[in-house]
Amino acid sequence: MKFPTVSLHVNKKALFDYEIVQGYEAWIKLTGPEVKSIRAKQCNLKGSYVSLTSLRPILKGFHISPYEHLPHKLRVNPTADREIFLHKKDIDYLTGKMKEKGFSLIPTEVYLKGNLIKISVALARGRKVFEKKQVLKERDVGRDMDREIGRF
């Protein structure tokens, strides 16, 4: 049975700065108030990355705003490290790839799949400045072409 997916946050900066090689779907370990904040779209993936320490993928730098209806003494650090869950064979493959020069593991999207909050993680290679300029140029040309086609 297919579950509908609802995007909660997309890491647009990472999609621009990196060339996506391969994507993976992962679960993320959260507490109740964190889930409520994410469902309210109060999260930010900007500057976050995944670290593979001792064969456990850890999401670092993922900001989840504190749930506003929670007492101050129960609030936790918004940028605390969070564990994500991937398949063992994917972790082994990614560990080998991360040792190669130029590869990073970055989160690209947080979304709902049914009632579960999942995160899309991508194996990516950093883009050079001239490659970023080329991407912007291609977008502008495509936008201009769409505009011209729309006139007729």
Residue of 31, 30, 83, 28 whose CA lies nearest to 55: 83
Has residue 92 been placed in a domain? Answer: yes
Total number of domains constituting the chain: 1
In this structure, is residue 148 part of a structural domain? no
Amino acid in the structure at residue 129? V
pTM above 0.85, yes or no: no
Q: For 45-100, what is each residue's pLDDT tens digit?
A: 888 888 888 778 988 988 888 888 777 777 777 888 889 998 989 888 888 888 88
Distance separating alpha carbons of residues 85 and 36, to the nearest angstrom: 20
**107 confidence band (pLDDT: 50, 70, 90):** very high
Give the CATH number of the domain where residue 15 resides: 2.40.280.10
Give a yes or no: residue 53 inside a domain: yes
User: Given CA atoms 28, 33, 36, 37 in this order, what sign does their dihedral have?
Assistant: negative
Q: What is the residue type of 99?
A: K
The boundaries of the domain holding residue 49 are 5-127
Q: Has residue 132 been placed in a domain?
A: no
